[in-house]
Amino acid sequence: MSKSKNNPNKQENQKNIPNYEFPQVSAPEKKRIRDYDFKKPKKFTKEHLRCLNTVNENIIRIFSSNISSMLRAFCEIEMLKMEECRYMEYLNMLPDKTFIGLISMNIAESTSDDCTVIVHFPSTVNYFLIDILLGGDGHGYNLSRGFTEIEIAILDNFYKKITGFFAESWKSLMDVNCELYGNETNPRLAQFISLDDSVIVLSFQIKIRDIVDKFSFCIPSISLDEMLRTTLTKNAKNNKPEDEKEKIRREAISSSLNDSAMELTAVLDTVMLDVHDIVSLEVSDVIQLKKKIDDNIILTVEGEPKFSAKLGDRKIKKSVKICDIVSTAEINEFNNI
């Protein structure tokens, strides 16, 4: 058998072949697809949500300071989430034995109908509040029972103050009227809108001593959308460009000043005289001035020097011709004499 011999030229050509590195193609990222409910579409735009973020910041600031002073304990509040859901879904998140307040809310000086806002604080906070206000140490808050009539009366007073804080939180966005008109200890009985209607839920986390829980506000989407649209439309009409507003302001000032009457005085000169000389002045006395006959005189507007003018005659009457704006030196000379 014959053995194959290595070809040196072939080996040399193999060495000269360049090594190409092909880039690795990464697998395409999987896109997150969320189901969209066409029967209940989202009603709120990003602009509306930005408006509500302002309200959320005010709620955190106002509620934390006022609740701390009411309960004599440090209260810390944080924003958890803001979501749009069905009213039935919100009621299912609430426990059966709890306390909710019903707030009537509408825009001040508006003919729109009132909307009902639900405010819910957890039972731990409610029992902590009751224990503190009745002289306790605030440790008996882990209770699973319902509320007595006395406890409901105490909570009703507390929720009225919460209603005032809630109205104050909206002032930076719109002026609203809020009033607590009722309460419920069973959320299933709060049927002021349809269970399938859309609502906006503002959820916050509250920390008081050892208590870490969350409270929420539930606002009907239809009512809130109408209120925000009314406010945004009103603000859009009022927010004109600065240049246009400044032009309108100047025109208004000019229009009001056009009909104003002002005294214009031509001052020939000023001299210093003793009281004795002034008392002894008589008819035909001559007072010598410092100015020459062809020097400029001063014109004053309401006693303030404004113009430099020439004295002359026009149609057998004395007249003055405005030559220039009075200089700083002339103003100082006029005021110092």
Confidence band, pLDDT 50/70/90 cuts, at residue 254: confident
Which of 188, 216, 236 terminates a domain? The answer is 236
Residues 6+ apart with CB under 8 A from 196: 40, 86, 87, 88
Residue 41 maps to a domain: no
Three-point CA angle 44, 49, 54, nearest 5°: 150
Instruction: Please give the average per-residue pLDDT across 284-296, as a whole number.
Output: 80
Residue 201 maps to a domain: yes
Q: Is residue 323 located within the same domain as residue 217?
A: no
Q: Is residue 112 located within the same domain as residue 201?
A: yes
Total domain count, the chain: 2
pLDDT tens, 39-61?
Answer: 666 666 666 677 788 888 888 88
Q: Is residue 301 located within the same domain as residue 178?
A: no
Q: Is residue 302 located within the same domain as residue 224?
A: no
Query: For the domain that residue 282 is a member of, what is the CATH number?
Result: 2.30.330.10
Confidence band, pLDDT 50/70/90 cuts, at residue 1: very low
Q: Which domain holds residue 194?
A: 46-236
pLDDT tens, 28-40?
Answer: 666 667 666 666 6
pLDDT tens, 123-153?
Answer: 888 888 888 888 887 776 777 788 888 889 9
Q: Is residue 144 located within the same domain as residue 52?
A: yes
Nearest partner of 98 among 159, 55, 56, judged by Cα: 159
Q: Is residue 283 located within the same domain as residue 145?
A: no
Which of 236, 253, 276 terminates a domain? The answer is 236
Residue 225 maps to a domain: yes
pLDDT tens, 198-216?
Answer: 888 999 999 988 888 899 9
pTM score of the predicted model: 0.57
Quick check: 202 and 59 in contact, CB under 8 A?
yes
pLDDT tens, 106-123?
Answer: 887 766 678 889 999 988
Q: Which element (helix H / strand E) includes 163?
A: helix 149-169
Q: Coil, helix or strand for 27? A: coil
Residue 174 maps to a domain: yes
Is the pLDDT at 82 greater than 80? The verdict is: yes
Is the pLDDT at 218 greater than 70? The verdict is: yes
Q: Is residue 283 located within the same domain as residue 149?
A: no
Q: How many helices (H) and strands (E) does the chain have?
A: 9, 10
Quick check: 129 and 200 in contact, CB under 8 A?
no
Torsion region of 72: left, alpha or beta (phi above 0 gives left; psi -120 to 50 gives alpha): left
Share of the chain above pLDDT 90, in %: 6
Q: Is residue 80 located within the same domain as residue 158?
A: yes
- Tell me the C-alpha distance between 175 and 142, whole Å: 38
- Tell me the C-alpha distance between 104 and 109, whole Å: 15
pLDDT tens, 233-244?
Answer: 666 555 555 567
Q: Is residue 60 located within the same domain as residue 204?
A: yes
Instruction: Please give the average per-residue pLDDT across 3-13, as a whole number.
Output: 53
Residue 25 maps to a domain: no
Residue 156 maps to a domain: yes
Residue 164 maps to a domain: yes
Q: Is residue 81 located within the same domain as residue 186?
A: yes
pLDDT tens, 292-324?
Answer: 777 888 888 887 888 888 888 877 788 888 888
Residue 212 maps to a domain: yes
Q: Is residue 223 located within the same domain as residue 171?
A: yes
Q: Is residue 60 located within the same domain as residue 136?
A: yes
Query: For the domain that residue 137 is a member of, what is the CATH number?
Result: 3.40.1550.10
